[in-house]
Amino acid sequence: MLPAHTADSSVTRPSRTPASSSPTAASLPSMVADGIPGQRGGRRGGLRSYLDRSKVLGQWRAKVAGSLNLAVGSRQSRHQPRPAVGDRRPQGRLGWLTALLVLSATAPAQAALQLRVAIEDGVSQVQVGTSSAAVVRDAAGRQVGQLKAMDGLVAGSQGGQVTLGGLKSGQLWVEPQAGGYVWIGDRWYRGRALLSPKGGGVLAVNYVDLDEYLYSVVGSEMPTNWPLEALKSQAVAARSYALHKRSKVGNAQYDLGDTTRWQVYKGITAETTSTQTAVVQTAGQVLTYNGAIIEAVFHSSSGGHTENVEDVWSSPLPYLRGVADYDQYAPVFQWQETFSAAQMRQRITGVGNILALTPIALTPNGRVRQMKVVGDGGQRTLSGDELRSALGLRSSLFQVSPSGGAGSGAKSTVPATFVVQGRGFGHGLGMSQWGAYGLASQGYGYQQILGHYYQNAGLAQIQVTP
């Protein structure tokens, strides 16, 4: 029995484990209507983009240091933001580049760009249902069955085929009718589902229109009660990131996943009127550099200053440059963790009792790139990300201070505790979400926010063609 749909993100969700292990129908509870628009049609096609230079109306640059001039037509702010570190102010003059990026879709009746989002990948079974009556089709598009509204089935795999109730095929489409929603695993989603066998299990992919996907992503990645300009910044960044990933790393079965490895997508539970408004008011807008959609990465809080991408990852990119952040409002702007000697020994193995941690390489803003760990049984060098993961830290911007002695007597050299003091949450690249909140709270618009965090990038309008 599937839970009712609700737009309230606090709704209790069931476990991802289906309630029944047998592929039989289960009665689903009634849905709660909330006025969210129904899905739109359209099929996914290949991504083809180019810059139509004849459509260029202006240019958006972000290199004018020391001032933040407003874009044409935007409201002059009476408030000046306070940088978290130092006295730098947001950089860049934000007019905007209205280039035309053409993306192709294959739906003959409607030009609608669809994403393929993997919800469950290689699981032994997954519960599937719909809020309205649904048609089930095979890979050739032939109707092979139907689902009643609010009835759910458990999908599995057998002999290299996917099973759903009494149905069995190489692939099965589950298509809600009359604007209904599809249940996959433990949540409701817009669009439709494609079930395929994978690795002895099931791959469940949600086919969903780009903007309807973003309704959820914005609410999954950012609090929905934040200022609209911050939500609009998130919408443009998320749209750009999704299309970049779709073109660069999407595979034959799906374009994106739904976790933090990609960007978080929680289905319609994460949608609100504010997230829909943010997506609609930035419809089709993406961040570009040299005519290509950029990898618009983002994070929660940098702790005062974002990083140049090559200082954290590998190759430099002209639009991922370190800038002063405005994230002083973040609850994770500063943080502290304390570990006992035993906890450190369990989490960082191979060196015995840990005696000291010494930075070998830091970024210009103090993030740990390499750290030498010295113990009474040896030493090893860890990257900042490895150490962050081992200790469960919020970021790699931290310092470690040993304290006390763990042994008995004055000669003990093993510290009793290790105090880790750090700042920020995430990798520190691209847009800081708490920085976007800080700027939006003081009257800055989404174009200004994006121009500050994605230096040298431009805004372009995509056009989807059948």
Tens of pLDDT, residue by residue over 45-98, are 322 222 222 222 223 323 222 223 323 223 333 333 344 433 456 665 444 444
Averaged pLDDT, 265-278: 97
pLDDT at 219: 97
Beta bridge partners of 354: 375
CA pair distance 444, 425, nearest whole angstrom: 23
What is the pTM for the complete model shown?
0.79
CA pair distance 251, 424, nearest whole angstrom: 33
Beta bridge partners of 425: 301
What is the rounded average pLDDT for all residues in the chain?
81
Decide which of 24 and 205 is more confident.
205
Q: Which of 13-22, 166-175, 426-435, 451-460 has the lowest mean pLDDT?
A: 13-22
pLDDT at 79: 34
Q: Read off the pLDDT band of 261 (50, 70, 90).
A: confident
Averaged pLDDT, 254-275: 95
Highest mean pLDDT among 78-92, 241-255, 353-367: 353-367
> Smallest Cα–Cα separation from 226: which of 79, 435, 427?
435
> 10 Å Cβ neighbour count for 31?
18
pLDDT at 111: 57
pLDDT at 464: 79
- For every residue of 232-295, DSSP letters joined together read HHHHHHHHHHHHHHHHHT--SS-SB-SSTTS----GGGG--HHHHHHHHHTTTEEEEETTEE--
Q: Read off the pLDDT band of 286 (50, 70, 90).
A: very high
The DSSP element (H or E) to which 342 belongs, if any, is helix 341-347
Helical H segments across 109-227, by residue range:
210-221
**Paired tokens of 365:** 């803003």
Q: Read off the pLDDT band of 99 (50, 70, 90).
A: low
Kind of pairing between the strands at 431-432 and 298-299 = parallel
Angle between helices 433-441 and 228-248 (to 10 degrees): 150
Reported in sequence order, the residue ranges of 1-88 that DSSP labels E, i.e. its strands, are: 26-27, 68-69
CA pair distance 38, 4, nearest whole angstrom: 16
